[in-house]
Structure 1
């Protein structure tokens, strides 16, 4: 198992076929203001790849974009809504189809309100990760080893989490509902960027 660090694009051919786990690190939580700094991606075979974008980046990443935009390759996220918005806004591609472990958790782990990635990994996989670097400066000229390990850990477990969550969705009869939510996520992300982040357009008000 290794963590690989790349500047501005993913090398061609480093990912195996099949689903990929994806996550992003930005300068903050406002997509249009806080630039995309790092994108993490893993094919679930044991390695994680971190792609860092510098200040003033043109986000010309043809190899990475080809993987993200591939409609035949499932993308696994935890809180896909945020990552999809950042990826489309900065890289110009819709990184779908989607499986979101946070939504899956909310649909089947109704016995708890703890749906963070750390909570899921602890309960479903019996492992622990550190979230200490979550709010660190991802735009720094050099990323620390702790930042790189944190970023890698955010995609390291998503394949196994999906394997644990799908049987629960099927058991509770909520797989079709989950899929409908996943299919809607790119549109939900566009609503966020367009100004409806805090408004429920489906409500009567």
Structure 2
């Protein structure tokens, strides 16, 4: 087993950056976080590989300033597997590629049956990777040697995989498709903060009434504050189901809350004062949340036939046409066109012209290659749906 070490001091970091700058070709980049253990999504290990330089494992909490690495590799192509997962953590370190190649996304466009890193590496270059540490707590120090080897292997073969995947893209005539998808991934803005994030509590649908919702919100906020203080994943302190159980139990006192069997978790009793104070705040607040929240979400398609029969007819014609096209292109339907995009177009279509359909698709975030492939198919399906409805109405009159 090759021995790897974590670079956590600046002299070694600068030397590694010099080596990477002198390397050749693209750089493979990966990030390890501590999701499920820590509050944040920060990077706890950054792995970088470049030919003629080697693999380097960097310790973000220790190094903090990553500007030398950005200067060393910022102008070359960065190779990721599932880039959208790693870019936010890298941007927190002021690490930003100018151009990227995503082997996971490319594998989807190519119609690979398996698109996980280990599967893509094995299918393209025949190397078997072990994935037993993917859910590890990467915030621990020192990191075990087996974890370091696992982390290094995530990038060691990625440039070779990139080259094989690039050949496949060229053979299938999909290089431009992939380039547009990579650029869109890079340009994707950060997700805005969720409005009322507490409403995502698992099991909240069981809670009825504005007052009980206020209590649930207060408990969620108290847990969030404590989790941030402790830098611990909220669910590891008190699970969602336990917060909901506390609301449903409607305890009359702190002691009664302690007696709620379903209110568990490692901080449920240790921080009992915190949770009881949150319940009291929720019971006393005058700022009651709405029991129903307006949403721009479309109704489920199963309800369309009654609520919007024309849209239902359009979707039932267009969806199989897009699915058939995706099959012909040897890629998943969702990579050819997001199902939500097609649903929104069918629900409220523009004028039935190719240009109008193309503009509407672009406004919904479709890439030029997707528009070029699907616009005419969708237009034809919508026209056929309208003609079918007209024929049915004429027959019934």
Give the TM-score category using the shorter length: 0.7 to 0.9
Report the alpha carbon displacement of residue 96 of structure 1 after superposing the two structures with TM.
2.9
- Secondary structure of 2:178's counterpart equals helix
Task: Report the counterpart of residue 13 of structure 1 in structure 2.
Answer: 18
Report the alpha carbon displacement of residue 2 of structure 1 after superposing the two structures with TM.
6.4
- Secondary structure of 1:19's counterpart equals strand
Q: How many angstroms apart in 2 are the aligned matches of 1:94 and 1:29? A: 25
The answer for unaligned runs of 5 or more in structure 1 is none
Task: Report the counterpart of residue 76 of structure 1 in structure 2.
Answer: 79
Task: Report the counterpart of residue 46 of structure 2 in structure 1.
Answer: 39
Q: How many angstroms apart in 2 are the aligned matches of 1:8 and 1:131? A: 28
Report the alpha carbon displacement of residue 62 of structure 1 after superposing the two structures with TM.
2.2
Decide which moves more: 73-82 or 179-188.
179-188
If asked which structure has higher relative contact order (CA below 8 Å, sep 6+), I would say: 1
Q: Which of 66, 70, 93 matches 1:61?
A: 66
Q: Which of 88, 91, 94 matches 2:93?
A: 91
Report the alpha carbon displacement of residue 58 of structure 1 after superposing the two structures with TM.
7.4
Question: Aligned in 2, Cα 1:141/1:167: closer, same or farther, shift over 3 Å?
Answer: same
Q: How many angstroms apart in 2 are the aligned matches of 1:33 and 1:93? A: 17
- 1:30-179 to 2 correspondences below 5 Å: 33-45=40-52, 47-54=54-61, 59-68=64-73, 70-71=74-75, 73-88=76-91, 90-108=92-110, 110=111, 112=113, 114-179=114-179
Q: How many angstroms apart in 2 are the aligned matches of 1:170 and 1:141? A: 43
Question: Aligned in 2, Cα 1:32/1:187: closer, same or farther, shift over 3 Å?
Answer: farther
Task: State how many pairs are aligned.
Answer: 193
Q: How many angstroms apart in 2 are the aligned matches of 1:37 and 1:160? A: 25
Q: Could you report, residue by residue, the CA deviation over 1:69-122 in whole angstroms, capped at 9, with x for unpaired residues?
A: x23x0000100111111111x2123223100000110011x151x100100111
Pairwise CA RMSD? 2.7
Q: TM-score, normalised by structure 2?
A: 0.45
Question: Aligned in 2, Cα 1:123/1:17: closer, same or farther, shift over 3 Å?
Answer: closer
Larger Rg: 2
Whether the 8 Å CA contact 1:77–1:101 is kept in 2: the answer is: yes
- Secondary structure of 2:51's counterpart equals coil
Question: Aligned in 2, Cα 1:8/1:83: closer, same or farther, shift over 3 Å?
Answer: farther
Whether the 8 Å CA contact 1:85–1:186 is kept in 2: the answer is: no
Question: Aligned in 2, Cα 1:35/1:168: closer, same or farther, shift over 3 Å?
Answer: same
Q: Could you report, residue by residue, the CA deviation over 1:40-70 in whole angstroms, capped at 9, with x for unpaired residues?
A: 000034721000123xx672122112235x2
